[in-house]
Chains A and B, each alone.
Chain A
Amino acid sequence: MSETVRFAVGEAVRVRAEWPPGHIRTPWYVRGRAGRIERHCGVFPNPEELAYHRPDARRLALYRVRFAMRDLWEEVGDGGDTLDAEIFEHWLEPVRA
């Protein structure tokens, strides 16, 4: 199986607004939020599958995604602060133009 890297540095992405049960490595506070790819971190077995002893965990690209703090918590104001979170590829979608 090829290990594709779907997103490029600088690309706008949105975190899926979904709430599966079980062990999830994408924090609640970024679900449904948009940011930009800050870097590609490498390809790793999916921890959400490793957590359940799956020997065949999918290998997925991991990205550091940069969000504007004001896009996560409105009350933060427009100080220009950012937050970086490392998100696996299956949790990301391209932002529609």
Chain B
Amino acid sequence: MGAMQAPAPPERGWHDMGGLAAGAVDPAEHDYELWERRVDALLVLCGSRELFGVDGLRRALEDLGADAFVRMGYYERWIAAIARNLVETGVLTNDEIGRRIAEVEQRGTTYGEVGDP
């Protein structure tokens, strides 16, 4: 009778990167676009309304998967994770989000200025 195979090692989360090689850190400062500031403010608003907080954000970010870390920018991942949490907590439905995205796309490809709706 053969020996039992050891179970496959569990898969490390893509985000759980402490101790792994990751290349040099770019220390350059950069400014944030208006839409990025609004995403940041939206998270703070969700917390102040006690809808969800940083833990729900982090969990949803992790669930985006390793590919998102490569394909998406920082605040792109944030808004995806915020949207997930808003659907989970019943604030929005995916259908409402989809319809609003379609509305906004009709306006064109540039983002508005402060004061625009």
* Interface residues of A, Cβ cutoff 8 Å to B: 19, 22-24, 27-29, 47-48, 50-53, 72-73
Contact = CB atoms under 8 A, between A and B. Distances in A.
Given A27-B16, A51-B55, A52-B56, 20 more contacts: A19-B10, A24-B13, A24-B16, A27-B18, A28-B12, A28-B16, A28-B18, A28-B19, A29-B19, A47-B55, A48-B55, A50-B53, A50-B55, A51-B56, A51-B58, A51-B59, A53-B56, A53-B88, A53-B89, A73-B19
Interface in B51-67: 52-53, 55-56, 58-59, 62
Contacts, number: 34
Interface residues on B, range: 10 to 19
A47 B18 CA distance: 19
Contacts of B53: 50
A52 B18 contact: no
Nearest to B11: A19
Contacts of A53: 52, 56, 88-89
Contacts of A47: 55
30 contacts: A19-B10, A22-B59, A23-B59, A23-B62, A24-B13, A24-B16, A27-B16, A27-B18, A28-B13, A28-B16, A28-B18, A28-B19, A29-B18, A29-B19, A47-B55, A48-B55, A50-B53, A50-B55, A50-B56, A51-B55, A51-B56, A51-B59, A52-B56, A52-B59, A53-B52, A53-B56, A53-B88, A53-B89, A72-B19, A73-B19
